[in-house]
Structure 1
Amino acid sequence: MPTDQRRIVVVGAGSGIGAATAAHFHEQGDHVLAVDLRPDDAQASEHAQCDLRDAKQIAKLLGSIGADWDLLAYVAGVPGTAPAADVLKVNYLGMRLFVEGMLPLLREGGAVVTVASVAALGWQDRLNELTGLLEATDGESAERWQAEQDPNYPVYSTSKQAAIIYAKRLAPAAWQKYGVRVNTVSPGPTETPILGDFEESMGKEVLDSVKATIGRHATVTDIVPVIAFLGSPAARWVNGQDIHVDGGFVAPLTVGAPIQL
């Protein structure tokens, strides 16, 4: 019997953008698997726990969920207040391992959407610097790479830069081999439970200046529709893109002063 119900995996569904993403798909009648580190009360059809710092746990989970999924939304992330190793493992390496393990489980025409960040601004200028991290396939290698980096450079930005570059490099092969699209969404500052951590790691005055420039911080309801669009058949020809969802804050930083009206 034909059905319009889709099968969605949301990683990082315990709070914030992840919880709102799970709720969005659940409310429209899709089958949602909510994945988080701890037990969560996300609106979903089923729940699973996974420590994304642990490659064995990722492999075990992916080996248990079966195939024929339509979308992987990797929304999990930890802020720069966490240990550097955890930031790299969850935001980049865990994402990479989860995505690569999910590709064979996604239907042709499916999609991967990873939440990155406007904090990754400037990733184009760090391609050579990030080579070692992008070649790392385990946590120990990522930690060794980080130990040789400038400790004053924000590791959160590094993790999201690597996530964007990886997605762009993976997208052509994922499309050609599996018929699956890979894109990233980069929110600006967003009202979630970890906003305070970002204020601590990035500077409250910095985030306040962003808010003053564009009028407010984002809410999860600003971000989730973009994730949903990129994961839908309506975005069937969008692949390898990083979409800023920041109210337009970043644009003048990259092209010069805004036109005054």
Structure 2
Amino acid sequence: MAKGLSMQNLDGLGYRDRTVVVTGGSSGMGEQVARILGELGAKVHIVDIQAPKVPHLSFRQCDLSDFDQVRAAAAALAAEAPIDFVFPCAGLPPHIKGPMYCMRVNYIGTRLFVEELLPSVRDGGGIALISSDAAMGWQGNLAQSLEMLAISDPDEAYAWCEADPDARVRDGYTSSKEMLVVWVANKAVEYGNARRIRFNAIGPCPTRTAFMDEQEKLLPEGFLDAWPYPSLGRMATAEDQAWPLVLLNSPLNGAVTGSFLYTDQGFASGVFTGAINPAFMKGEVA
């Protein structure tokens, strides 16, 4: 934290004594989100496949690919209602178990968890999740994404993907992260009008986590060194990404919903305006 600041000075963010739920709170960005929220005085409940290492009030073990487990975890958390803020941070890359599994966890399972938990979220609460700047082309695939968005049943959504995985799932990661952006942009209106619940997402750039350590093994040598880091001059840390998510979900951002905040050191905006040449990603420029 900046010199002279303390967590007590940040009570205005609105988390002290509030009940929060963090998925993926046992590692990476989710772990840092859970840690920061705890230090801000929140009552932190973590949902993850593995036990958390940071302080927490309760832990529910859950594999987001198992829809029965997802429903059970959300039902158990009803005991903590009203829940003030939800932070869906769980996610994985496609090389773990393939593109279909990636879609099942990153979007379908995450959406099911939020929708099952929604009755326990207080009116006026907030939900903020982690997408990726890999989703920066989401508008180009909007028609297909809206087709999937219209399928609310998770088993039906998975079957829809299975019917044409090459077109509908692709690498699994990019498509699932695009679906998160479209879901947020669309449902924020419904959640807001019905219950004044805000719904937002961040889009991180490459970030130094265990997730990225595994990804790096599959990337061309020097790929991450060539990535532009205008704001930090280095790869972001999990804490660098956790703070924007915490700030975005704060009630101080009462007018912000349906947003996709790029936390990517200017990469997407640079590409959109020509300030950054994305050809380096294919090894075409130095």
**What is the aligned partner in structure 1 of residue 126 from structure 2?**
111
What is the aligned counterpart of 1:69 among 66, 83, 106? 83
Unaligned runs of 5+ in 2: 1-14, 277-286
Name the CA distance, whole Å, in 2 between partners of 1:78 and 1:216.
Answer: 23
- CA drift of 1:200 comes to 4.2
Q: Deviations over 1:199-243 (max 9, x none)?
A: 245545443321566631111221111111121111111000000
Matched AA of 1:41: K
The answer to whether the aligner puts 1:16 opposite 2:28 as a matched pair is yes
Q: For residues 6-155 of structure 1, what are the structure 2 equivalents within 5 Å?
A: 6-66=18-78, 67-82=81-96, 83-136=98-151, 137-139=153-155, 141-146=157-162, 148-150=164-166, 153-155=170-172
**What is the aligned partner in structure 1 of residue 263 from structure 2?**
245
Name the CA distance, whole Å, in 2 between partners of 1:120 and 1:249.
Answer: 12
- CA drift of 1:106 comes to 1.2
Comparing 200-209 with 220-229, greater Cα deviation is found at: 200-209
What is the aligned counterpart of 2:234 among 216, 227, 230? 216
Whether contact under 8 Å (2:75, 2:117) holds in the other structure is no
CA 1:206–1:189 in 2, change beyond 3 Å: closer, same or farther?
Answer: same
Name the CA distance, whole Å, in 2 between partners of 1:143 and 1:217.
Answer: 37
Matched AA of 2:249: G
Whether contact under 8 Å (1:104, 1:178) holds in the other structure is no
Name the CA distance, whole Å, in 2 between partners of 1:199 and 1:143.
Answer: 31
SS of 1:150's partner is helix
Deviating 4+ runs (over 6 angstroms): none
CA 1:45–1:213 in 2, change beyond 3 Å: closer, same or farther?
Answer: same
Whether contact under 8 Å (2:21, 2:46) holds in the other structure is yes
CA 1:170–1:203 in 2, change beyond 3 Å: closer, same or farther?
Answer: farther
Name the CA distance, whole Å, in 1 between partners of 2:150 and 2:221.
Answer: 34
**What is the aligned partner in structure 1 of residue 205 from structure 2?**
188
TM-score (norm 1): 0.90
Name the CA distance, whole Å, in 2 between partners of 1:4 and 1:160.
Answer: 30
Count of equivalent residues: 256
What is the aligned counterpart of 1:226 among 244, 266, 277? 244
Q: Deviations over 1:74-117 (max 9, x none)?
A: 00001121222220111100111111122221112210001000
TM-score (norm 2): 0.83
Q: CA RMSD in A?
A: 2.1
Q: Deviations over 1:181-207 (max 9, x none)?
A: 000011100010111232245545443
**What is the aligned partner in structure 2 of residue 171 from structure 1?**
188
Whether contact under 8 Å (1:174, 1:180) holds in the other structure is yes
The answer to whether the aligner puts 1:198 opposite 2:212 as a matched pair is no
